[in-house]
Amino acid sequence: MKSLLIIPTFNERDNIRKMLATLMEMNIEGLDVLVVDDSSPDGTGEIVEAMTKLYPQIHLLSRKGKLGLGTAYVAGFKYALEHDYDRILEMDADFSHDPNDIPRLLQGSEKYDVTIGSRYCQGVNVVNWPLKRLLLSMGASLYTRMVTGLPLRDCTAGFVCYRRQVLESLDLDNVKSDGYSFQIEMKFKAWKKDFTLGEVPIVFVDRRFGESKMSKKIVHEAYWMVWKLKFWSLTGKL
Ligand SMILES: Nc1nc2c(ncn2[C@@H]2O[C@H](COP(=O)(O)OP(=O)(O)O)[C@@H](O)[C@H]2O)c(=O)[nH]1
Ligand SMILES: [Mg+2]
């Protein structure tokens, strides 16, 4: 069983160095790492490049300019399918997701087609987020569930493990989201294709280094995207 962990980065110099070192120390069997970096001005790409020379498990996909989270993941998914990975994981670079939870996600994927590291399936497991940000995130999940019917507590989760078959059956060139609504879109499309989705509880901790890339534009995109997804699904154009 070969797994690929995809980490998208934009200006994550301090985090990615530590994250890659942690992952290499954990030495999870069959796990490779692909960092998708959007030519971060802070030199994140150069750090990863140097790490690829030390560890054959680490790979770098360097893109020209900040092209958005959605397309970064799509590029990573295509890489995973081309290189015959069985399990494909998504994780943030900033330690909001604990790399120690990766084995639990992989375990979950023995049962589910899509395993979601969920902040909200056993109470609220978010540490250090300002209340405003927490309400935005929980509100987004509730709103998505109400509009689309997606049966998840954490609809925008970015810590996910996909079985290969899920990504093979989705039209990756037809992914519409640039920003974080990408996470909603992928889960909704997998659900509509009758893949099984399961949530495993994780604790999400706010980043200590670097800055969040959350913006008004991203919230705006997500607000409308859920309606578009529902409409496309009703009209058979998903
Ligand atoms: N390649 C790439 N990575 C991105 C982009 N936007 C965000 N990221 C990465 O996606 C992950 C989540 O972003 P983050 O800013 O931490 O979002 P937040 O935790 O929701 O505030 C981090 O690893 C970011 O570096 C982008 O446009 N391109
Ligand atoms: Mg973050």
- The CATH number of the domain holding residue 12 is 3.90.550.10
Nearest-CA residue for ligand 1 atom 16 is 212
Mean pLDDT over 122-150 rounds to: 97
Average pLDDT over residues 129-148: 97
pLDDT band of 180, cuts 50, 70, 90 = confident
Q: What are the start-end ranges of the H helices in the chain?
A: 13-26, 44-54, 69-82, 102-108, 131-148, 164-169, 181-192, 216-234
Which residue ranges have their beta carbon within 6 Å of ligand 1? 8-10, 12, 36-38, 66, 68-69, 72, 92-94, 96, 207, 212-214
Structural domain for 146, as ranges: 3-234
Q: Is the pLDDT of residue 51 over 90?
A: yes
Largest CA distance in the chain: 50
Q: Which residue has the higher pLDDT, 178 or 35?
A: 35
On average, the pLDDT of the chain sits at 97
pLDDT band at 145 (very low <50, low <70, confident <90, very high): very high
In 3-state terms, what secondary structure has residue 26? Answer: helix
> For residue 92, what are the β-bridge partners?
none
86, 116, 216 from 113: Cα distances, Å: 11, 10, 32
Smallest-distance ligand from the CA of 96: 2
Q: Give the number of domains in the chain.
A: 1
List, as one string, the DSSP characters of 89-133: EE--SSSSS-GGGHHHHHHHTTT-SEEEEESSSSS--EES--HHH
**Per-residue pLDDT for 2 more than 90?**
yes
* Residue 57 reports pLDDT greater than 90: yes
**Quick one: pLDDT at residue 193?**
98
What's the pLDDT tens digit per position in 77-133? 999 999 999 999 999 999 999 999 999 999 999 999 999 999 999 999 999 999 999
What span, in angstroms and rounded, lies between the C-alpha atoms of 39 and 56? Answer: 21
Contact (Cβ atoms closer than 8 angstroms) between residue 167 and residue 88: yes
User: What percent of the chain has a predicted confidence (pLDDT) above 70?
Assistant: 100
Residue of minimum CA distance from atom 21 in ligand 1:
212
Query: What percentage of the chain reaches a pLDDT higher than 90?
Result: 99
pLDDT (mean) for 208-237: 95
Mean per-residue pLDDT, 201-215 = 95
Nearest CA residue ID for atom 5, ligand 1: 69
Given pLDDT bands bounded at 50, 70 and 90, which one contains residue 179? confident
pTM given for the model: 0.97
